[in-house]
Amino acid sequence: MFSFCTDPSILPDWQWFACYLTNATHLQFYRAFGVVIVLLAITAPAALGMGLLGALALRSRIWPLNWLGQGYVNIVRGVPDIVFFLFVPIALGQGIEWVMHQIHCPDWDQPIRQGNDFIVCREAKVPPVNAPAWVRDIYAFGMAVTAFALVFGAFVANTLYGAMQAVPKAQIETAEAYGMTRRQAFRRIVLPQMWVYALPGLSNIWQILIKATPLLFLLGIQDIVYWARELGGQKTSLFAYPHPDWRMWYFLGLLCFYLFLTWASERAFARLNTRLSRGQATAAGERMRKAAAA
């Protein structure tokens, strides 16, 4: 990184640290923080979408749909999430390969589960056998996102369902009195207004989502926990930058990163709440109206 980094063993302390903290593996470590942010940025809308579908299913009057929603929400919420985080990627991966196997090799005569092996034909492998490394990385990451979206979708569904129920009934009745259909009333009255009721629950789920991101490590993705362990471990003099066991300091850094994330999002949600309360038929909205009038 810097021109003076050619021989780190003779450098004074501050230069040694400047070189150490900017070497190639550290840059990968910093990139891993970006991966966390990307995961959050993709998972949050995905979970919101899943949650919206789940909440609609919970509201539905068609009973198979309603049961599907009930089952989804209650099963995911009743079991430790970590079970789902490890279950969904494997189960989904095997499911996809099984479907591909049925499509590509219909005349395969051996069983797929032979003892402890899961064997599909060569064409059915996902990602393909000769796929480059980055495709495999994206695939693994996509599986992780799916698992996160499934689990958090159930939480969001529950929150949104509650929020939809919380929109004052009188407003929906007024809409129907104006001749709107059930669907129109939902789209024009309930959907825009439910967010203010959903926000406290959603902000809670967001905080939990942030705190769930280190579990990526368990899915075998090279995330910040992986790099903190790798970089922090003791390095002998064989390495360019020998140092004793520094894992504690790396994990302290991760703690600070997460504390900052939760602190910042708490503030952001407080502002969003003020924004959404404007003109609402809630105590906060009423207070803002009075403040503006005075």
Partner 1 sequence: MRSCAESFSEYALRALGRDYGANLLPRGLDITLCDQLFLIGGGLIWNVYFACLALVIGFGLAVVVAVARFSENPFLSRPAGAFIFIFRGSPLFIQFFFFYSAFVLLPRAGIDIPLGFLTLTVNTSALTTAQVGGVIVLVLNTTAYSAELFVGALRAIPKGDLEAADAYGMSGFTKFRRVVFPSMLRLAWPSYTNEAIFLTHSTTLVFLSAFPARQQSGEAFYYARYFVDQTFNPFVAYPIVAAYFILLTLAIIGLFGLANRRLNRHLPKVQRPRLRFRPTYIR
Tell me the closest approach of the beta carbon of residue 154 to partner 1, in angstroms: 8
User: CA 114 → CA 98, 128, 129, 156, 211, distances in Å?
Assistant: 14, 21, 20, 39, 38
Amino acid at site 119: I
DSSP conformation letters of 110-172: S-SEETTEE---GGG-SS-TT--HHHHHHHHHHHHHHHHHHHHHHHHHHHHHHHHHHS-HHHH
**With b meaning 16 or more CB within 10 Å and e meaning fewer, what string describes 108-135?**
eeeebeeeeeeebeeebeeeeeeeeeee
* By the rule CB under 8 A, 218 interacts with partner 1: yes
Cα separation, 213 vs 39, whole angstroms: 8
Tell me the closest approach of the beta carbon of residue 124 to partner 1, in angstroms: 16
Tell me the closest approach of the beta carbon of residue 34 to partner 1, in angstroms: 18
159/277 with CB nearer partner 1? 159
* By the rule CB under 8 A, 208 interacts with partner 1: yes
Could you tell me which stretch among 2-10, 25-33, 208-216, 276-284 binds partner 1 (CB under 8 A)?
A: 208-216
* By the rule CB under 8 A, 241 interacts with partner 1: no
Could you tell me which stretch among 64-72, 96-104, 112-120, 164-172 binds partner 1 (CB under 8 A)?
A: 112-120
Tell me the closest approach of the beta carbon of residue 241 to partner 1, in angstroms: 18
Smallest CA-to-CA distance from 48 within 218, 172, 194, 167 is with 194
- Write the burial class of residue 251 (CB in 10 Å: 0-12 exposed, 13-18 middle, 19+ buried): middle
Q: With contacts defined by CB under 8 A, how many residues of the chain interact with partner 1?
A: 43
* By the rule CB under 8 A, 117 interacts with partner 1: yes
Instruction: Among 166, 254, 272, 288, indicate the residue that binds partner 1 (CB under 8 A).
Output: 254
Instruction: Among 2, 30, 67, 87, indicate the residue that binds partner 1 (CB under 8 A).
Output: 87
Could you tell me which stretch among 16-24, 169-177, 244-252, 280-288 binds partner 1 (CB under 8 A)?
A: 244-252
Could you tell me which stretch among 50-58, 125-133, 176-184, 251-259 binds partner 1 (CB under 8 A)?
A: 251-259
Cα separation, 289 vs 86, whole angstroms: 49
Is residue 125 within 8 Å of 58, Cβ to Cβ?
A: no
Site for partner 1 in 152-191 (CB under 8 A): 155
Smallest CA-to-CA distance from 209 within 165, 160, 153 is with 153
Cα separation, 142 vs 151, whole angstroms: 14
Q: How far is CA 191 from the centre of its chain?
A: 23
Could you tell me which stretch among 16-24, 135-143, 181-189, 223-231 binds partner 1 (CB under 8 A)?
A: 223-231
* By the rule CB under 8 A, 44 interacts with partner 1: no
Contacts with partner 1 by CB under 8 A lie at 76-83, 86-87, 90-91, 94, 113, 115-118, 155, 208, 210-215, 217-218, 225, 228-229, 232, 245, 247-248, 251-252, 254-255, 258-259, 262-263
